[in-house]
Protein backbone atom coordinates (compact mmCIF):
# COMPACT_ATOMS: atom_id res chain seq x y z
CA UNK A 1 0.00 0.00 0.00
CA UNK A 2 3.00 2.32 0.29
CA UNK A 3 4.08 1.63 -3.27
CA UNK A 4 2.56 2.77 -6.54
CA UNK A 5 1.42 -0.52 -7.96
CA UNK A 6 -2.29 -1.31 -8.49
CA UNK A 7 -2.97 -1.56 -4.75
CA UNK A 8 -1.13 1.67 -3.98
CA UNK A 9 -2.93 3.60 -6.71
CA UNK A 10 -6.27 2.17 -5.60
CA UNK A 11 -5.56 3.30 -2.04
CA UNK A 12 -4.83 6.85 -3.26
CA UNK A 13 -8.05 6.97 -5.28
CA UNK A 14 -10.12 5.65 -2.38
CA UNK A 15 -8.62 8.20 0.00
CA UNK A 16 -9.19 11.13 -2.34
CA UNK A 17 -12.76 10.03 -3.10
CA UNK A 18 -13.71 9.68 0.56
CA UNK A 19 -15.02 13.22 1.00
CA UNK A 20 -17.52 12.64 -1.79
CA UNK A 21 -19.47 10.66 0.81
CA UNK A 22 -19.01 12.85 3.87
CA UNK A 23 -16.49 15.04 5.67
CA UNK A 24 -13.84 14.18 6.79
CA UNK A 25 -13.84 10.60 5.45
CA UNK A 26 -10.73 11.18 3.32
CA UNK A 27 -8.71 12.15 6.40
CA UNK A 28 -10.01 9.16 8.35
CA UNK A 29 -9.00 6.92 5.45
CA UNK A 30 -5.52 8.47 5.53
CA UNK A 31 -5.17 7.36 9.15
CA UNK A 32 -6.45 3.88 8.27
CA UNK A 33 -3.99 3.73 5.36
CA UNK A 34 -1.12 4.80 7.62
CA UNK A 35 -1.98 2.05 10.10
CA UNK A 36 -2.42 -0.69 7.49
CA UNK A 37 0.67 0.32 5.53
CA UNK A 38 2.74 0.76 8.71
CA UNK A 39 3.57 4.31 7.74
CA UNK A 40 5.05 6.15 10.75
CA UNK A 41 2.75 8.93 11.97
CA UNK A 42 5.57 11.46 11.67
CA UNK A 43 5.66 10.92 7.88
CA UNK A 44 2.16 12.37 7.55
CA UNK A 45 2.90 15.24 9.91
CA UNK A 46 1.52 13.75 13.10
CA UNK A 47 4.42 14.84 15.27
CA UNK A 48 4.06 15.81 18.92
CA UNK A 49 4.78 19.55 19.20
CA UNK A 50 7.30 20.83 21.71
CA UNK A 51 4.47 22.80 23.27
CA UNK A 52 0.80 22.08 22.55
CA UNK A 53 -0.31 25.42 23.97
CA UNK A 54 2.48 27.35 22.26
CA UNK A 55 1.70 25.80 18.89
CA UNK A 56 -2.01 26.47 19.42
CA UNK A 57 -1.34 30.13 20.22
CA UNK A 58 0.99 30.63 17.26
CA UNK A 59 -1.44 28.85 14.94
CA UNK A 60 -4.45 30.90 16.06
CA UNK A 61 -2.64 34.24 15.80
CA UNK A 62 -1.13 33.38 12.44
CA UNK A 63 -4.44 32.10 11.07
CA UNK A 64 -6.33 35.25 12.07
CA UNK A 65 -3.63 37.58 10.73
CA UNK A 66 -3.33 35.61 7.49
CA UNK A 67 -7.08 35.75 6.84
CA UNK A 68 -7.20 39.49 7.46
CA UNK A 69 -4.23 39.98 5.13
CA UNK A 70 -5.97 37.96 2.42
CA UNK A 71 -9.28 39.80 2.86
CA UNK A 72 -7.86 43.31 3.15
CA UNK A 73 -5.02 43.22 0.63
CA UNK A 74 -4.47 40.10 -1.46
CA UNK A 75 -8.00 39.34 -2.67
CA UNK A 76 -8.84 43.00 -3.46
CA UNK A 77 -5.66 43.19 -5.54
CA UNK A 78 -6.83 40.11 -7.43
CA UNK A 79 -10.16 41.80 -8.13
CA UNK A 80 -12.26 39.44 -6.02
CA UNK A 81 -15.83 40.27 -5.05
CA UNK A 82 -15.69 41.53 -1.45
CA UNK A 83 -18.76 39.42 -0.71
CA UNK A 84 -18.40 35.64 -0.60
CA UNK A 85 -21.66 34.80 -2.38
CA UNK A 86 -21.44 31.11 -1.55
CA UNK A 87 -21.48 31.68 2.20
CA UNK A 88 -23.39 34.96 2.37
CA UNK A 89 -26.31 33.00 3.83
CA UNK A 90 -24.33 32.91 7.09
CA UNK A 91 -24.98 36.59 7.76
CA UNK A 92 -26.75 36.69 11.14
CA UNK A 93 -27.75 33.04 10.66
CA UNK A 94 -27.27 31.34 14.05
CA UNK A 95 -28.99 28.17 12.89
CA UNK A 96 -26.29 27.59 10.28
CA UNK A 97 -23.36 28.02 12.67
CA UNK A 98 -23.17 24.48 14.15
CA UNK A 99 -22.82 22.83 10.74
CA UNK A 100 -20.31 25.48 9.64
CA UNK A 101 -18.25 25.05 12.81
CA UNK A 102 -18.14 21.31 12.18
CA UNK A 103 -17.00 21.90 8.60
CA UNK A 104 -14.31 24.36 9.72
CA UNK A 105 -12.90 22.45 12.69
CA UNK A 106 -13.31 18.84 11.56
CA UNK A 107 -13.53 19.12 7.78
CA UNK A 108 -10.94 21.83 7.20
CA UNK A 109 -8.60 21.89 10.18
CA UNK A 110 -8.30 18.16 10.65
CA UNK A 111 -9.48 16.88 7.28
CA UNK A 112 -7.86 19.14 4.70
CA UNK A 113 -4.54 19.42 6.50
CA UNK A 114 -4.29 15.66 6.93
CA UNK A 115 -5.01 15.04 3.24
CA UNK A 116 -3.47 17.98 1.38
CA UNK A 117 -0.40 18.45 3.54
CA UNK A 118 0.22 15.22 5.46
CA UNK A 119 -0.89 12.53 3.01
CA UNK A 120 -0.13 14.13 -0.34
CA UNK A 121 3.29 15.34 0.81
CA UNK A 122 4.14 11.80 1.90
CA UNK A 123 2.90 10.21 -1.34
CA UNK A 124 4.49 12.79 -3.65
CA UNK A 125 7.67 12.74 -1.59
CA UNK A 126 8.01 9.04 -2.37
CA UNK A 127 7.71 9.87 -6.08
CA UNK A 128 9.74 13.07 -6.33
CA UNK A 129 12.29 12.63 -3.55
CA UNK A 130 13.30 14.95 -0.74
CA UNK A 131 15.55 17.50 -2.48
CA UNK A 132 14.85 21.22 -2.66
CA UNK A 133 13.44 21.08 -6.20
CA UNK A 134 11.22 18.15 -5.23
CA UNK A 135 9.87 19.98 -2.19
CA UNK A 136 9.11 23.12 -4.18
CA UNK A 137 7.34 20.99 -6.81
CA UNK A 138 5.27 19.26 -4.14
CA UNK A 139 4.30 22.56 -2.52
CA UNK A 140 3.20 24.00 -5.87
CA UNK A 141 1.36 20.85 -6.98
CA UNK A 142 -0.54 20.36 -3.72
CA UNK A 143 -1.42 24.07 -3.62
CA UNK A 144 -2.87 23.75 -7.12
CA UNK A 145 -4.91 20.72 -6.12
CA UNK A 146 -6.07 22.48 -2.97
CA UNK A 147 -7.17 25.45 -5.04
CA UNK A 148 -9.04 23.34 -7.57
CA UNK A 149 -10.87 21.53 -4.76
CA UNK A 150 -12.50 24.86 -3.86
CA UNK A 151 -13.73 25.65 -7.37
CA UNK A 152 -17.10 23.79 -7.29
CA UNK A 153 -18.51 25.86 -4.44
CA UNK A 154 -16.47 29.09 -4.52
CA UNK A 155 -15.47 29.66 -8.13
CA UNK A 156 -12.32 31.43 -9.30
CA UNK A 157 -11.91 33.58 -6.20
CA UNK A 158 -12.07 30.46 -4.05
CA UNK A 159 -9.40 28.81 -6.20
CA UNK A 160 -7.15 31.86 -5.95
CA UNK A 161 -7.45 32.15 -2.19
CA UNK A 162 -7.09 28.42 -1.54
CA UNK A 163 -4.07 28.15 -3.84
CA UNK A 164 -2.31 30.96 -1.96
CA UNK A 165 -3.20 29.37 1.36
CA UNK A 166 -1.92 26.06 -0.01
CA UNK A 167 1.39 27.64 -1.00
CA UNK A 168 1.89 29.23 2.41
CA UNK A 169 0.77 26.24 4.48
CA UNK A 170 2.59 23.86 2.16
CA UNK A 171 5.85 25.78 2.47
CA UNK A 172 5.49 25.77 6.26
CA UNK A 173 4.80 22.04 6.29
CA UNK A 174 7.74 21.36 3.97
CA UNK A 175 9.96 23.25 6.39
CA UNK A 176 8.64 21.74 9.64
CA UNK A 177 6.99 18.42 8.83
CA UNK A 178 4.43 19.15 11.56
CA UNK A 179 0.67 19.48 11.19
CA UNK A 180 -0.62 20.55 14.61
CA UNK A 181 0.15 24.27 14.27
CA UNK A 182 -1.15 24.28 10.68
CA UNK A 183 -4.39 22.62 11.77
CA UNK A 184 -4.85 25.37 14.38
CA UNK A 185 -3.98 28.07 11.84
CA UNK A 186 -6.41 26.61 9.28
CA UNK A 187 -9.24 26.55 11.81
CA UNK A 188 -8.46 30.12 12.92
CA UNK A 189 -8.29 31.29 9.30
CA UNK A 190 -11.70 29.83 8.50
CA UNK A 191 -13.31 30.89 11.78
CA UNK A 192 -12.17 34.46 11.11
CA UNK A 193 -13.77 34.22 7.67
CA UNK A 194 -17.00 32.92 9.21
CA UNK A 195 -17.02 35.70 11.84
CA UNK A 196 -16.51 38.37 9.18
CA UNK A 197 -19.41 36.99 7.16
CA UNK A 198 -21.70 36.36 10.15
CA UNK A 199 -21.38 39.95 11.38
CA UNK A 200 -21.73 41.24 7.80
CA UNK A 201 -18.30 42.89 7.82
CA UNK A 202 -16.99 41.55 4.51
CA UNK A 203 -17.31 44.77 2.54
CA UNK A 204 -15.87 46.87 5.38
CA UNK A 205 -12.86 44.61 5.83
CA UNK A 206 -12.25 44.22 2.09
CA UNK A 207 -12.29 48.02 1.66
CA UNK A 208 -10.35 48.82 4.83
CA UNK A 209 -7.19 49.66 2.84
CA UNK A 210 -8.38 49.92 -0.74
CA UNK A 211 -11.39 52.22 -0.49
Encode pLDDT of 2-25 as tens digits. 788 898 999 999 999 999 999 999
Encode pLDDT of 33-66 as tens digits. 999 999 999 999 999 999 999 999 999 999 999 9
Distant-in-sequence, close-in-space partners of 182: CB < 8 Å, separation ≥ 6:
45, 59, 113, 117, 169, 172, 173
Give the pLDDT score at 1: 72
Find the mean pLDDT for residues 86-98.
Answer: 97
Distant-in-sequence, close-in-space partners of 127: CB < 8 Å, separation ≥ 6:
4
Distances (CA, A) of 13 to 8, 127, 200: 9, 16, 39
Q: How far apart are CA 97 and CA 187, in angstroms?
A: 14
- CA count, 13 A, side-chain hemisphere, 31: 10
User: Is 211's pLDDT higher than 80?
Assistant: no
Give the pLDDT score at 79: 96
Distant-in-sequence, close-in-space partners of 66: CB < 8 Å, separation ≥ 6:
165, 168, 185, 189
Share of the chain above pLDDT 90, in %: 95
Amino acid sequence: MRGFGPLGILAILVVLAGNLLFLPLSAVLVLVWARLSRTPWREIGYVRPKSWIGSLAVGVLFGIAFKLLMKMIVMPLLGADPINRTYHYLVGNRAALPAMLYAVIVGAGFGEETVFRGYLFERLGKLFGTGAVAKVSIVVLTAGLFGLAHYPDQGLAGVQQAAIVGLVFGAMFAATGRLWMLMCAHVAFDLTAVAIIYWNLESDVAHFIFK
